[in-house]
Structure 1
């Protein structure tokens, strides 16, 4: 069986057949794809929040039920304004605050684990603190744009991504994942998709304070304090989180019969968050937000397996290698309603980020590498509801990044400058949402980016369609052109030594992406919602490092490669009985190399991005807030090199999550992860975490 030429596994066919055959049941609930549902109490809380106007419908809907609540989840990223899942022509997946809490997700990376469309386990191991990777529709981490409250935080001065394991979840309200190109609204790096992290607003109460203590396997301990409140026109939220884990966990690599204890994988977080909100007038609000991510991480490298030639034959970086990050993300946001009505809104944001990275290995490598980046940006946007059926968004973005990279050599006590440079980007964008009919909505957009980099300017058009075929069925279709800008390290890196002669390339072109998808949202009574999306994503002019001599001592960065990824995302959310909820999603991805500097890899599958994934959860939640859920996370086998000569087997883990309200003030959270102690690798020589537990107690006053 194939959909537009893309092979579809028979497991997916069976999965969809079972979902369509399920009978409807009537108990209302809210459930998000791939993560557990929320209680009636939580639904009442969501209902208190103001929602934007929804498209008109032929008749008044009855009391909101399961599928309606799912479609009415708040969503920002596909529109660059507050909207809902129902309004989006794009497939979008959301993790809410409630679900972060019942999952016990301590970082944004952990919170993404059960979502469709994104491979979030990374390649550095799955222990707390391990550096994250996020692969969406064949794209790698630098091709995934990470937003914080709708503004970019990708590191253009170093790796091009943002390590989502650094952001702890205390200050996070929800996380949105929108697969597919997103450059029309947000610019560079949105080739594979967009992840938007939405921070928590201040409490409307005079003062609310929560304290959490958590302990767990392998030396895990956490202390968190959050306080929030409102006094007159001023509101605040202030928090601190300290998390520590030794991560000396046992592992077994079955393929070579090797066991050991993971060493030098410990981590210490010291994270702060501050949010201040001021109502300057009944129609004007000012918000200041600061998030400080500080992480001290052991960097053990790959496990040195004893069998020569085996998959994963790597040398450890030794017990002395450590990675330090100290990132400060700040922004000042002004929102104003213009005129006397509700149809014209102006948003102005200024942000400044300071990112510092140090990799220190005085014994094993004899070097200390340091990278400092400063990032300043401005967003100006006008949201104008021209008529009940038309919404126009247009504006201007500006961003400038400076990066400095030096390496200190311990034996010679000398410091080398690897690169120092600036990249400045400006852009104009417009997006028009038009209701052609009550049941048919069209969106058209275009963005023109202007860059200080030679050949760095780019035009990003997009078009989307959502057609409500009936009250229970909607069809979605989208096209988007996107790009990834060259990094400062790609442009200016320079290394001269007796052994290496490496240069950056200031004439690099941006990577270009063309993304297509078509999908359907199908309600099954009021008890279930099925979403199915077929996608094709093509990325050309990929930036790669190419050696220019047979001894691998000299080379530069250049534009080579063309990759096309096709696949399917399928999700089902079902209330199977009162207070019982089932959720499942399946993603298949086939990234094929069509052009490359190495002709032997043509037609092969791109490494790491080709794993299929399956997630499922079965949960019970009582009206009083007692919660129990079982989660299954399964990743298929995948190649670890573009030649497709080496691969890692798939793995399946099962997790148990519990939430027990002891009284009005105390809540006990417990989780038992990897119940069957599955042993696996996410990268050759990088084992995943085995059986482990966490136990936390939260006091709210």
Structure 2
């Protein structure tokens, strides 16, 4: 498994390596910490086999503090999905992976490529911050989402998900949590692969990746193409006048990087990423017709220049300048045609530092400057832009069986007064692998530019959302096994909601989510497992009556197991979601509870060739996450990968 230097912020300094080595087996330190933090690619052993061993060693995370540490050491609640797990799952879309994570709920207006939302502990939309190689992906439009349904998995190296309020670490938008995505990167040794997948609904994927090093220059390039006939997004029996045809989707993703080592501990790099998705979608209602055609195109670009510098033996610095843009085009061909194109952009300059203080303590800190903007090509949204500046510091360490993490951050965003946020976490070793964990944190979220300035419903006087959270948990860890039980509560005020009286967004909502989260992953008697259960109460505290928030389930669970038999890795996953309510044409309706089962298998055909298979929704369960919108039925997909020895 590997990281981007931009995602990590910095490579670990020697004392951090020693600290990690003291808490992890030496084999993990050599294979995971060094390969991850120093930017090498997946180990050759994994490159030559389709039987990954993703949890045979304790996983390493960087999102909780900004530098590598064992998952069992992290005080915030973190989940990690490695490249090996992505390949073993056979999942072709990012949201398919995310719905297996504790506390995560995915909704979609149909099949692949359709609009949707991702909720973390009951918070969604602009309250879930998404970072790609350390750069915010949430659009500055009237949705505030990161369009995760437009992400395929072939060019993703790693995903980390922090559940809960971490605004003091990552800034505005992290009330519900953070999804950190790392794209694939290069290696020092030459590597190449070509993969093809085909299956139900005329689904096909072709991807190619290559990397290596020439002298002091490391190169990487990858491209993937995903196409599917899809399904009919809308059920015409529930929502009238909808087009019953299948809504197809195609996506092309490109990723590349070049990193030049200037001197020992000094490197300069350039990275580029582009994802372009095109889909047809359905509309309904009095202005729609069964013959209507609707098309959408979403393009996400990221360009990044970065420098990693070892200032001293204890101080590592990372500086990056980046630009991320999301462009959306919507076209309707009907008796009432329309077309719109708009682009949101975030230009970011960030400086991050990690300093080993000695005696088990580490300090982090840095500065960040963003230029956020939105522009409408068709003129429906006036062009707007603003500056966002931040300074942040952190301190993490342990003494006499106690672990403390403190993060403070100050954000200054045009149009708002300065906002201060904090995170205080504490862990106490209890012996026999048990640890008690508690934390308190505050958060805020500045309204996207589309919420402020969109014609008709924008409100430039919106105040930022505010939140504070408390958590208490008990963790047990031994070797690769990490189990945690967490009680959590987050209260949010001044939340944005569309007000039908004024026909604009207003600060009229407040909510609270509290619950119990159980999660565990590891190995047992040759079985690899990952299981979680979330019992939550996401409620609207500003509304009388039944306060449960729309489309949020009060109970969710996932169980995944893998076992190798005769050189073939077999896997099974079960996903459960409890009932939820939604709005229908005649008022409130209940979306029933559902369970889906997926099966996977993978193995090696030879030294250079491997195969994988995935059965999705084995029992062809019919379910909806948004009223009137269908989800994927039974599907079977087969893949073949060639990794030549170079």
Using the size of structure 2 for normalisation, the TM-score is 0.87
Residue 607 (str. 1) matches residue 590 (str. 2): no
Q: 2:442 aligns with which of 464, 469, 481?
A: 481
Aligned residues: 602
Q: Kindly state the Cα deviation for residue 80 of structure 1 after the two structures are TM-superposed.
A: 2.0
User: Does the CA-based 8 Å contact 1:639-1:646 persist in structure 2?
Assistant: yes
User: Does the CA-based 8 Å contact 1:251-1:690 persist in structure 2?
Assistant: no
Q: Kindly state the Cα deviation for residue 317 of structure 1 after the two structures are TM-superposed.
A: 8.0
> Equivalent residue of 1:92, what SS?
strand
User: Does the CA-based 8 Å contact 1:669-1:695 persist in structure 2?
Assistant: yes
2:9 aligns with none
Q: Kindly state the Cα deviation for residue 277 of structure 1 after the two structures are TM-superposed.
A: 1.4
2:560 aligns with 617
Rate the CA distance shift 1:630–1:679 in 2: closer, same or farther, 3 A.
same
Residue 328 (str. 1) matches residue 314 (str. 2): no
> Where in structure 2 are the equivalents of 1:260-299 lying within 5 Å?
263-299=245-281
Q: Kindly state the Cα deviation for residue 280 of structure 1 after the two structures are TM-superposed.
A: 1.3
Q: Kindly state the Cα deviation for residue 581 of structure 1 after the two structures are TM-superposed.
A: 3.0
> Where in structure 2 are the equivalents of 1:544-693 lying within 5 Å?
544-548=497-501, 555-573=503-521, 575-577=523-525, 579-595=526-542, 599=543, 601=544, 604-622=547-565, 624=567, 626-641=568-583, 645-693=588-636
Structure 1 unmatched runs, 5+: 1-40, 53-66, 305-312, 408-415, 495-501, 549-553
Separation in 2, partners of 1:330, 1:277: 14
Rate the CA distance shift 1:403–1:68 in 2: closer, same or farther, 3 A.
closer
> Equivalent residue of 1:682, what SS?
coil
Separation in 2, partners of 1:368, 1:234: 45
1:367 aligns with 338
Residue 543 (str. 1) matches residue 496 (str. 2): yes
User: Does the CA-based 8 Å contact 2:520-2:531 persist in structure 1?
Assistant: yes
Rate the CA distance shift 1:430–1:693 in 2: closer, same or farther, 3 A.
same
> Equivalent residue of 2:559, what SS?
strand
Q: Kindly state the Cα deviation for residue 392 of structure 1 after the two structures are TM-superposed.
A: 1.1
Larger Rg: 1
Rate the CA distance shift 1:602–1:70 in 2: closer, same or farther, 3 A.
farther
User: Does the CA-based 8 Å contact 2:343-2:377 persist in structure 1?
Assistant: no
Rate the CA distance shift 1:545–1:348 in 2: closer, same or farther, 3 A.
same
1:26 aligns with none
> Equivalent residue of 1:508, what SS?
coil
Residue 124 (str. 1) matches residue 67 (str. 2): no
Rate the CA distance shift 1:100–1:451 in 2: closer, same or farther, 3 A.
same
Q: 2:329 aligns with which of 351, 354, 358?
A: 358
Rate the CA distance shift 1:277–1:107 in 2: closer, same or farther, 3 A.
farther
Rate the CA distance shift 1:316–1:662 in 2: closer, same or farther, 3 A.
farther
User: Does the CA-based 8 Å contact 1:264-1:319 persist in structure 2?
Assistant: no
Deviations 1:61-110 (A, max 9, x none): xxxxxx99678412121112233312211111111111000101223222
> Where in structure 2 are the equivalents of 1:407-426 lying within 5 Å?
407=378, 416-426=379-389
Q: Kindly state the Cα deviation for residue 225 of structure 1 after the two structures are TM-superposed.
A: 1.1
> Equivalent residue of 1:110, what SS?
helix
Structure 2 unmatched runs, 5+: 1-26, 39-52
Using the size of structure 1 for normalisation, the TM-score is 0.81
Separation in 1, partners of 2:363, 2:57: 23
Rate the CA distance shift 1:428–1:363 in 2: closer, same or farther, 3 A.
same
2:412 aligns with 450
2:91 aligns with 105
Rate the CA distance shift 1:442–1:128 in 2: closer, same or farther, 3 A.
same
> Where in structure 2 are the equivalents of 1:367-406 lying within 5 Å?
367-405=338-376
User: Does the CA-based 8 Å contact 2:451-2:459 persist in structure 1?
Assistant: yes
Rate the CA distance shift 1:485–1:252 in 2: closer, same or farther, 3 A.
closer
Separation in 2, partners of 1:606, 1:267: 30
User: Does the CA-based 8 Å contact 2:340-2:380 persist in structure 1?
Assistant: no
2:483 aligns with 530
Q: Kindly state the Cα deviation for residue 49 of structure 1 after the two structures are TM-superposed.
A: 2.9
Separation in 2, partners of 1:137, 1:587: 8
Separation in 1, partners of 2:409, 2:500: 35
